[in-house]
Amino acid sequence: GVTSFNTKQDFLQCLTLYSKNDPTIFNEVYTPSNSSYPSILQSKLENPRFNTTDTPKPVFIVTPTNESHIQATVYCTQKHGLQIRIRSGGHDYEGLSSRALTPPPFVIIDLFNLKRVSVDVTEKTAWVQAGATLGQVYYAIGQKSKTLAFPAGGCPTVGSGGHFSGGGYGLLVRKYGIAADNIIDAHLIDVNGRLLDRASMGEDLFWAIRGGGGNTFGIVTAWKINLVPVPPVVTIFSVSRTKEQKGIELLHRWQYLGSKLHEDLMILIFWGKNNSNLGGNVNAVTASFNTLFLGGVDRLLSIMNEDFPELGVVKEDCQEMTWLEAQISFAAGFTANLSTDVLLSNVSIFNVNFKGKSDFVTHPQPLKVIEEIWKRMEENVEIVRFGMTPFGGKMSEISESNVPYPHRAGILYKIGYLAAWNNNTVETAQRHINWLRSIYSYVAPYVSKNPRRAYVNYRDLDLGTNDQGYTSYKKASIWGVKYFHNNFDRLVKIKTVVDPTNYFRNEQTIPPFSY
């Protein structure tokens, strides 16, 4: 390829010079000839679909232990014409933190060594390094307090670097909004290798990095987050319903009330089959109603009896615990084992080949649509998980332009579609991807329109891609307005100012105007 032996030598020499002969930087650089290279490459690559011999591989993986080594890498990759991919938790749906589809050759900057979480209980804040996983963040908060929490996603191996960059939501979204709404400062290395904080980067750039998507504006090394209050006792339940148990009717009904319930109550749906993480979900298609309530069981049951009696939840379904334990329970698929190990594990709970897509729903879908999708789930697909998160509550109060993540008032719920398979042959992969695409086109009349919205953290290259990493404003707007709606133009303007040469890019990042 383009990277000759000289370029590689020059790059390494550049790192030596730039780091003023700091020998530790070389313990952090892996080349394909290094015996640890394959394991380092795979360790954070969530979707095994992008871990094949055909997947383009990085010429180097740099695993910095401090900011100055990132600055050196930013400088030297530009000097030697290499592109970079930033990786925190590696959960990008399209694997874009681990692969580049077009030249020039690329270097992965993997932030897994930067994982410190410092919680300040008095100030109710924390500094979180970008390589910290959500599990590590929740664990650190839980060690210090039973009544503080952070509103972000449920999967413990997701990284804060990518997750907060694209928005980030989970069980507290109806009460406190998304992760990006609750970030109050950040450390970022820009295209010139400067280490900036909120004051020195300015409000425009600080706005853009809270939801404008990763790998676009710079390398976030740490976030300062606002912790939110939760009661010392919360209640959870997970009940699953088959077709015979009126699963279809209950899903239909849930659409009308999920976003209208008291904001202390979150009923998240996992609809699908063969996913151990669905809460009791087995071979048959089921709808599970997975609930976090910020309060005790008696108050929860009285709300359920009043607002959603059809679900038939009884006391025996419910468990009182701390918020941290609830987070563990959700992550562990609602098992009774509440060991914190699941939060600190590096092994993902969803380690299968998958294709994902997303939708936002503004009007309840007709019963016949739910029936049809249920029927299709019973077809020849191995693993299906449609995660449906209701909004309303705080999400309706936050303006669309608060941060780049725009999907707020008027959205009843979000759908995160996943189709997954175990044995990654070309035929199996294509069958599952086609199945999902066909569902996606079938539901088009019953989801948000003009534009049909999508969630940037559920990255989907079907929506369009940059050519050779460079693209026109016009082309990028096709997927850009789906992800960012009216915030897209402001993101392009900021990108044009802070990264005019488009150094921070991938197949679906926001281009500066000049391209």
- Residues 170-189, one symbol each (x = binds ligand FDA by CB under 6 A, - = not), give x-------------------
Residue nearest to ligand FDA (CB): 214
156 binds ligand FDA (CB under 6 A): no
Q: How far is the CB of 514 from ligand FDA (least distance, A)?
A: 22
Furthest C-alpha separation in the chain: 72
Compute the distance between CA of residue 111 and CA of residue 231 in angstroms, rounded to an integer: 33
Applying CB under 6 A, which part among 32-40, 147-155, 258-266, 358-366 lies near ligand FDA?
Answer: 147-155
Q: Is there a contact between 111 and 129 (Cβ–Cβ < 8 Å)?
A: yes
Site string for ligand FDA, 125-144 (x = CB under 6 A): -----x--------------
CA–CA separation, 131 and 162 (whole Å): 9
Instruction: Identify which of residues 154 and 392 has a Cβ nearer to ligand FDA in the complex.
Output: 154
Least Å distance, CB 153 to ligand FDA, is: 3
Buried b (16+ CB within 10 A) or exposed e, 300-330: bbebbeeebeebebeeebbbbbbbbbbbbbb
For residue 139, indicate whether it is catalytic. Answer: no
Under the binding rule (CB under 6 A), the answer on residue 161 touching ligand FDA is yes
CB of 269 to ligand FDA, least distance (A): 13
With 0-12 CB in 10 A as exposed, 13-18 as middle and 19+ as buried, what is 368? Answer: exposed
Which run of H or E residues covers position 222?
Answer: strand 219-226
**359 in contact with ligand FDA (CB under 6 A):** no
Among 64, 168, 212, 393, binds ligand FDA (CB under 6 A): 168
Is residue 169 close enough to count as binding ligand FDA by CB under 6 A? Answer: yes
Which string of DSSP letters, residue by residue, matches 225-257? Answer: EE-EE--S-EEEEEEEE-TTTTHHHHHHHHHHH
Minimum CB distance to ligand FDA smaller for 57 or for 85: 85
Rule CB under 6 A: say whether 353 interacts with ligand FDA: no
CA distance 366 to 370: 7
Rounded Cα distance, 117 and 130, in Å = 9
Question: What CA–CA distance (Å, rounded) separates 106 from 68?
Answer: 20
Single residue of 57, 80, 85, 273 touching ligand FDA by CB under 6 A? 85
What is the Cα–Cα distance from 380 to 378, expressed in whole angstroms? Answer: 7
Instruction: Find the binding residues for ligand FDA in span 445-504 (CB under 6 A).
Output: 457
Member of 156, 166, 258, 279 binding ligand FDA (CB under 6 A): 166
The mark string for 29-58 relative to ligand FDA (x by CB under 6 A, - otherwise) is: -----------------x------------
One of 72, 107, 126, 155 touching ligand FDA (CB under 6 A): 155
Does position 162 bind ligand FDA by CB under 6 A?
Answer: yes
**Is 161 or 393 the residue whose CB approaches ligand FDA more closely?**
161
CA distances 180 to 151, 164, 392, 423, Å, are 9, 6, 17, 36
Rg of the Cα trace of the chain?
22
Site for ligand FDA in 88-117 (CB under 6 A): 88-93, 96-97, 111
Binding-site string for ligand FDA from residue 209 to residue 228, where x marks contact by CB under 6 A and - marks none? -----xx---xx--------
Identify the CA nearest to 160 among candidates 177, 182, 142. 182
Nearer to ligand FDA, 96 or 117 (CB): 96
The catalytic position among 139, 417, 455, 458 is 458
For residue 352, CA distances in Å to 46, 274, 382 come to: 8, 12, 11
* Burial track 125-148 (b if 16+ CB lie within 10 A, e otherwise): bbbbbbbbbbbbbbbbbbeebbeb
In contact, 234 and 318? CB cutoff 8 Å: no
Size of the site for ligand FDA (CB under 6 A): 34
Q: Any idea which residues carry the catalytic annotation? A: 458
Positions that interact with ligand FDA (CB under 6 A): 46, 85-93, 96-97, 111, 130, 153-155, 158-159, 161-163, 165-166, 168-170, 214-215, 219-220, 350, 457, 506
